[in-house]
């Protein structure tokens, strides 16, 4: 598969698969574009590309559902796979394996190239010319606090001493033509970097990137270790450096093929009220919070720029699929790094990323002689309790890899028949992320709660394990062969 290095190449690949729908009629960014996008995700339709957006400059466009499930029959993860340089036929396990493999490779630093001729520099707006009202300004949900300009873009930030550059996704809301605000949470890498600037009382330089390398949104939503450079990880994933150019007004680099780049500084104080916004958990909560202000000091953009949007809500949409792949891969890498045999992991999409399923190979006992299922699952829980990505999983189920955790039929059967309603589970109390409504209000405000790990492992072969009542499980090989031969002749 040839790597796609910008949003336009990615959209072209979707169109070739019949997974892109061009909408030529005028579409209002005030709710209408998001409503169409939301409908497309819920109905598994092609991704909408809005060619005419009312209120924006002529030629400025919006694209929705870029990371949602694909409409291509039999290949639900086609959009995610293409964004990572995989064939559109890749399965969930293949996608996780690719992300895990990239973690084991040496990082490939981005390549700084001259700005002259860079698509993202087709137009350069400085100072008062850099107004946001010439661009599409999508209001995503009717009760949102304001238009949310960033739902699928990446924020570039760097520590004051320059040791760590971070690319991450965080929602960002419009205040006026020159100011934005967004979630800057202390538990997330953006918040960690901002706190270093807050400590010295200086505003933090930032760049907000729309478009660019299709893998940006996936990697920006991953839970790489603190200090890791997402751009270098993306280079390891692609096997070649990401090309970047220097910003106009801040000492940061952004993808060469970005659609739009907003530059400026993030205030050193929480000066604005952010929210509310309907989120990935599927609920339109009314919560707001004090957050810092992004000043808009320059905007650069391509000819006929395309601004991506994610209409987050009840699963499954973009806000679930990319984080599922990233969190699952990071957990697999962490568990394997601890010497534990793991086949794969997957956050079941229908749970809004609240559950984690870990599968282990049938021969795991050979790797851990003398260890029973309770001890094995306890070790998994200890690792999860000790890492950030593990604490992001309120409920985890450990199962044999005879089932595919990304297949809901497999998963529901396994959960219903292998998970004891009260026994074979262990919980760990500790820090939790503040956006899981399954916790109590007290737990969410304290940032402290429990995660639980369930042991759903089967007995060893020959020690009580029974065959599944399936075509392959309860019929002899010679009969199965005759049935399959008869099927082939009848076609």
Q: In terms of domains, do 122 and 183 share one?
A: yes
My answer on whether 292 and 369 are in the same domain is: no
**Residue 103 and residue 61 share a domain:** yes
* Domain assignment of residue 409, given as a range: 338-455
> Does residue 25 lie within any of the structural domains?
yes
Tell me if 281 is assigned to some domain.
Answer: yes
CA distance 355 to 194: 30
33 shares a domain with 114: yes
Q: Are residues 51 and 174 in the same domain?
A: yes
- Annotated catalytic residue, options 51, 230, 248, 279: 279
pLDDT tens over the chain, length 491 residues:
578 999 999 999 999 999 999 999 999 999 999 999 999 999 999 999 999 999 999 999 999 999 999 999 999 999 999 999 999 999 999 999 999 999 999 999 999 999 999 999 999 999 999 999 999 999 999 999 999 999 999 999 999 999 999 999 999 999 999 999 999 999 899 999 999 999 999 999 999 999 999 999 889 888 888 899 999 999 999 999 999 999 999 999 999 999 999 999 999 999 999 999 999 898 888 889 999 999 999 999 999 999 999 999 999 999 999 999 999 999 999 999 999 999 999 999 999 999 999 999 999 999 999 999 999 999 999 999 999 999 999 999 999 999 999 999 999 999 999 999 999 999 999 999 888 899 999 999 999 999 999 999 999 988 888 889 999 989 999 999 999 999 999 98
In a domain, 70, yes or no: yes
Domain match, 363 and 273 both: no
CATH code of the domain containing 440: 3.40.1670.10
What residues are paired with 273 via a beta bridge? 290
Angle at 18 between CA 7 and CA 84, to 5 degrees: 40
**Percentages of the chain per state (helix, strand, coil), in multiples of 5:** 30, 25, 45
- Please check whether residue 162 lies inside any domain of the structure: yes
Q: Is residue 479 part of a domain?
A: no
Where residue 289 sits, what CATH number does that domain have?
A: 2.30.110.10
The total number of structural domains in the chain stands at: 2
Do the domain assignments include residue 368?
Answer: yes
Per DSSP, 203 falls in state P
CA 363 to mean position of chain CA atoms: 32
- Of the candidates 130, 146, 151, 126, the residue with the CA atom closest to the CA atom of residue 62: 151
Instruction: Lay out the sheet containing 306-309: strands in order across.
Output: 20-27, 47-53, 61-64, 306-309
Is 426 among the catalytic positions? no
Residue 422 falls within a domain, yes or no?
A: yes
Q: Which residues of 305-339 are buried (b: 16+ CB within 10 A; e: fewer)?
A: bbbbbbbbbbbbbbbbbbbbbbbbbbbbbbbeeee
Which of 309, 329, 358 finishes a domain? 309
Separation of alpha carbons 359 and 451, rounded Å? 18
On whether both 372 and 286 belong to a single domain, the answer is no
Q: What angle, 0 to 180 degrees and rounded to 10, lies between the N-to-C axes of helices 373-385 and 318-337?
A: 110
Q: How far apart are CA 313 and CA 54, in angstroms?
A: 24
Residues 258, 178, single domain; the answer is: yes
Q: Which two tokens stand for residue 476?
A: 């002899």
| Per-residue tokens: 146 | 């304001």
Other C-beta atoms lying within 10 Å of the C-beta of residue 143: 12
Structure tokens at 137: 């300004």
Continuous segment of H or E residues that includes residue 345: strand 344-346
Same domain for 343 and 214, yes or no, is no
Q: Where are the beta strands (DSSP E) in 28-60?
A: 47-53
Same-domain status, 363 and 289:
no
Q: Are residues 285 and 346 in the same domain?
A: no
Do 240 and 2 contact (CB within 8 A), yes or no? no
73 and 213 assigned to the same domain: yes
Q: Is 353 within the bounds of a domain?
A: yes
């Amino acid at each position: 598969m040839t790597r796609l290095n910008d949003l336009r190449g990615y959209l072209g690949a979707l169109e070739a698969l019949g997974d892109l729908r061009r909408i030529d009629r005028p579409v209002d960014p005030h709710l209408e574009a998001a409503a169409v996008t939301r409908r497309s995700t819920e109905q598994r339709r092609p991704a909408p590309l809005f060619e005419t957006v009312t209120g924006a400059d002529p030629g400025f466009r919006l694209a929705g559902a870029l990371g949602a499930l694909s409409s291509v029959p039999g290949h639900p993860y086609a959009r995610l796979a293409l964004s990572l340089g995989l064939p559109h036929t890749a399965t969930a396990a293949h996608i996780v394996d690719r992300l895990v493999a990239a973690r084991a490779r040496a990082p490939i630093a981005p390549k700084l190239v001259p700005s002259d001729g860079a698509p993202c520099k087709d137009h350069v707006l400085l100072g008062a010319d850099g107004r946001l009202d010439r661009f599409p300004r999508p209001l995503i949900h009717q009760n949102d606090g304001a238009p949310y300009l960033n739902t699928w873009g990446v924020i570039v930030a760097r520590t004051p001493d320059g040791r760590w550059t971070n690319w991450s996704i965080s929602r960002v809301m419009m205040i006026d033509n020159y100011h934005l605000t967004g979630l800057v949470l202390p538990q997330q890498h953006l918040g960690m970097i901002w706190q270093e600037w807050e400590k010295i009382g200086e505003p933090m330089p930032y760049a907000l990137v729309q478009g660019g390398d299709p893998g940006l949104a996936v990697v920006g939503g991953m839970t790489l270790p603190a200090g890791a450079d997402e751009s270098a990880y993306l280079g390891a994933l692609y096997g070649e450096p990401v090309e970047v150019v220097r910003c106009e007004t801040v000492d940061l680099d952004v993808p060469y093929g970005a659609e739009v780049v907003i530059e400026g500084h993030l205030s050193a104080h929480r000066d604005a009220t952010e929210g509310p916004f309907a989120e990935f958990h599927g609920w339109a909560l009314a919560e707001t919070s004090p957050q810092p202000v992004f000043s808009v000091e320059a905007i650069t953009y391509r000819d006929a720029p395309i601004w991506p949007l994610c209409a987050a809500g009840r699963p499954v949409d973009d806000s679930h699929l990319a984080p599922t792949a990233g969190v699952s891969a990071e957990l697999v890498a962490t568990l394997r790094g601890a010497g534990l045999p793991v086949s794969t992991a997957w956050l079941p999409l229908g749970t809004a990323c609240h559950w984690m399923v870990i599968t282990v190979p049938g021969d795991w006992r050979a790797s851990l002689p003398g260890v029973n299922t309770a001890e094995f699952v306890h070790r998994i829980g200890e690792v999860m309790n000790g890492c950030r990505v593990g604490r992001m999983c309120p409920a985890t189920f450990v199962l044999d890899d005879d089932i595919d955790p990304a297949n809901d039929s497999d998963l529901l059967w396994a959960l219903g028949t292998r998970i004891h309603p009260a026994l074979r589970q262990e919980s760990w109390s500790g820090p939790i992320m503040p956006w899981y409504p399954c916790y109590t209000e007290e737990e969410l405000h304290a940032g402290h709660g429990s995660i639980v790990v369930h042991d759903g492992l089967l007995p060893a072969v020959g020690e009580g394990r029974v065959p599944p009542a399936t075509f392959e499980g309860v019929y002899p090989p010679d009969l199965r062969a005759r049935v399959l031969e008869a099927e082939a002749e009848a076609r």
